Structure 1
Amino acid sequence: MNALQTLYAISMVAWFLSEFLYKNMLKSGKDDQKGKDKSTLNILWLAIPFSIAAAVTIANLSTLPIINSNWVMYVGEAFILIGIIFRFIIIRSLGKYFTVDVTIKEDHKIKKEGFYKYLRHPSYAFSLLTSLGLGLYLNNWLSLIFAIVPPFLAFTYRIKIEEEALVEQFGDEYITYRKNTKKLIPFIF
């Protein structure tokens, strides 16, 4: 196993462990407005592991290179690491307002600084960057599709549900914020 493969293995374990810990430690509390999630957490926990398993399996069973060069694997690994690290930073920046299930806290406020100045859902954006990194690291067109599409669809559904809850809670304040920011990709989408 070379250094890149070792780093990839470590980053995949870190990705899984961090998401497992988030899921088990950052749930809504008893005083929060629950019942808004509409199974989005379950959908994400089906879509993301499925996409990872499918992408890796396809890469092991087929050869459909994105590019005939190893540099794409380095770019992919960089995206994996950037995604994991920045998702952690964003989750920490939200503090008690971050929950894995769609919830409104009692004293909830809309965060509009840092990454949130440009994106309404930077945590999801960096999670998707990690998925993109996996697809690139595997250097297989079908793996790339399976690494990105299921999580993207799951996050798109979750964003719809989450934004409904935020509009219900904050009304015009959130609608104005939504008009001035992008969902997942700065200045684009």
Structure 2
Amino acid sequence: MKTLQILFAISMVAWFLSEILYKNILKSNDKDKKGKDKSTLNLLWIAIPFSIASSVTISYLTKFPITDEVWIYYLGVFFLYIGIILRFIIIRSLGKYFTVDVTIRENHQIKKEGFYKYLRHPSYAFSLLTSLGLGLYLNNWLSLVLAFVPTFIAFSYRITIEERVLIEQFGEEYLEYRRKTKKLIPFIY
């Protein structure tokens, strides 16, 4: 169990550091079509730390275990790592077109291969997987809700804003792509 706690601590540090780096390095620049974000980045920077802090706090204050089995901790850590790693891969695959704020870059194109063949927002899906992993690791129903729901609501709002911008920019091409893909969960949602 000690090894699991160390893996959890490392995953939390990696999560924080990666998100801080993304926020500080992957911003839009002066050449981009900006001003479309509608404060979604600020909302995410409120929702995610709130989710983490409140879910961890509640796990210490209450006991509503999801299960008495140890596998839940391993599944939680697994989802944390998979979410962090796959989000990094997605961000790298978008290259110069990835920004933390909703922005259209010069010569922007809709990515339709890789994970984007099945999901319109795989970066958000894997971020949510990380939140789900946190909730599972804490093994508390209230913590699970607090780890996932506020972040899900914030990403849902951001997806709405982002898709409006993409429809405005790409019109029928994006609408056709949207008809063929799901938002966050392949073949389901």
User: Is TM-score (shorter-chain normalized) higher than 0.5?
Assistant: yes
- Partner residue, 2:13: 13
Structure-2 residue corresponding to 1:152: 152
* Cα distance in 1 between the residues matched to 2:180 and 2:137: 34
Match of 1:81 in 2: 81
Relative to the length of structure 1, the TM-score reads 0.99
Aligned ranges 1:19-168 → 2 under 5 Å: 19-168=19-168
Question: Deviation of residue 164 (structure 1)?
Answer: 0.2
Q: CA deviation at 1:149?
A: 0.3
The Cα of 1:106 is off from its aligned counterpart by: 1.1
- How far off its partner does 1:70 sit? 1.1
**Counterpart amino acid of 1:171?**
G
In structure 1, C-alpha distance between the alignment counterparts of 2:113 and 2:88, rounded to whole Å:
16
Aligned counterparts of 2:173 and 2:155: Cα–Cα separation in 1: 23
Q: SS where residue 163 of structure 1 aligns?
A: helix
- Give 5+ residue unaligned stretches, structure 1: none
Q: Offset of 1:160 from its aligned partner?
A: 0.2
Deviations 1:36-86 (A, max 9, x none): 000000000000000000000000111100011111000000000000000
The aligned amino acid for 1:156 is S
Tell me the equivalent position of 1:171. 171
**Aligned-partner SS, 1:68:** coil
Q: For structure 2, which runs of at least 5 residues remain unmatched after alignment? A: none
By how many angstroms is 1:166 displaced? 0.2
Give 4+ residue runs of structure 1 displaced > 2 Å after superposition: none
Per the TM alignment, residue 178 of structure 1 is displaced from its structure 2 partner at its CA by 0.2
- Secondary structure of the 1:169 match is helix
CA RMSD of aligned residues (A): 0.6
Measure the CA separation in 1 of the matches of 2:73 and 2:63: 14
